[in-house]
Amino acid sequence: MSLIQISIIVPVFNASKYILDCLKSIDEQTRKDFEVIIINDGSTDNSKLIIESYINTRVSSIPIKLISTTNKGVSSARNIGITESSGNYISFVDADDILDNNFLEILISNLTTHKASLIFCREIKFKTNEEIKITIKKKPNYIGIYEKSNLSWLKLFLFRKIKPGIWVFLIERKLITSHNLLFREGLHYSEDIEFIYYLLHYSSKTIFLDQFLYYYRVHNNSAMSKFNIRRLKVIDVYNELDKFFKSNNKNFYKSFHTFAHSRILWSITWQFAAASQNYNVFFDFIRTRRLKFLRNLIYPNLLIILSSFLLIISPFLYYIFIRFVFLVKKSRKFTYEQK
């Protein structure tokens, strides 16, 4: 058996409908020197039984480990995976997603060729497996590979010119361990943002492979389709990042300090407007936060500038506008959760 070079960490919570597709796509990787660490995060469906059955009947000899815990959230599950992993490189895969057969082969080949510690690729969003085949035919298989400075990647991430989730990265293990990086536990939304900021900051070299190698399944009932006031906890993350960059990356700090808080508040606000039962609920939320949008008037994105201006001068018109947009699109439904 080949020495383990890569550890694939798969957090699982109530993914019984999709986990088999995910595990099969992992086993079908063209590169075989990896291990799979599955963390069953307190699933209440049949996920654990399905995984155990798959492990016992699979033909592949690739090492696979199932760890079951009480439900503590995806960040805790990923942290357990990091601790249990042994590979020189780490990949995080969501239990309802699918990997291209060449995902590991292509990423690690480019990572080592360019002597980088971090690489990420593009993703294809899909709802059914058939959509993957259709989308692949429409999009070019390979466009190029790009290397930039850490400062450039951080600014692109801040201004949302790039929007990678943690699942499209392949990470050199020592990048994580040498800086004691872990996912912040207790967050219910955007739990990987802080981790990615730290990766982009500490990486010795980061490259982007403009190729579609990861297939991200979209659900109408996903966490990002529901609004809960706990989503505001992500602002605490930005407060910590603000302090970190002030002390450790002064070149990036000015941009982050100027735009990060107002940008994330902008995102939270339109989601709240889309999910609120009525205008009064929305206005109670925005009443003390409206002036914070003044900084967005110089944000390098016309949509954010105009919508922030509208919110400042008339929260009611802003609310009507957001509700109208979602009524017309009907492609993404937000619901409001009290707890």
CATH annotation of 6-217: 3.90.550.10
Tokens 């400042």 identify what position? 312
The mean pLDDT value for 82-95 works out to: 97
Model's pTM, two decimal places?
0.90
Residue 133's pLDDT is what?
66
Higher pLDDT, 134 or 190: 190
Mean pLDDT value across residues 178-186: 94
At residue 244, the pLDDT reads 97
Q: Residue 35 in contact with residue 64, Cβ under 8 Å?
A: yes
pLDDT of 186 higher than 90: no
pLDDT band at 100 (very low <50, low <70, confident <90, very high): very high
Q: What is the mean pLDDT of residues 194-218?
A: 96
H or E, element range at 237? helix 234-248
Supply 230's token pair: 């706990």
Average pLDDT for the chain = 89
Residues 297, 202: Cα–Cα separation, whole Å: 31
Give the least confident one: 17-26, 28-37, 113-122, 268-277: 268-277
How far is Cα 321 from Cα 315, in angstroms, rounded to an integer? Answer: 10
Q: In three state form, how does the secondary structure of 296-325 look?
A: HHHCCCHHHHHHHHHHHHCHHHHHHHHHHH
- Reduced to 3 states (helix: H, G, I; strand: E, B; else coil), residue 8 is strand
> What are the residue boundaries of the structural domains of the chain, listed by start?
6-217, 223-337
Task: Give the span between the Cα atoms of 154 and 165, in whole angstroms.
Answer: 14
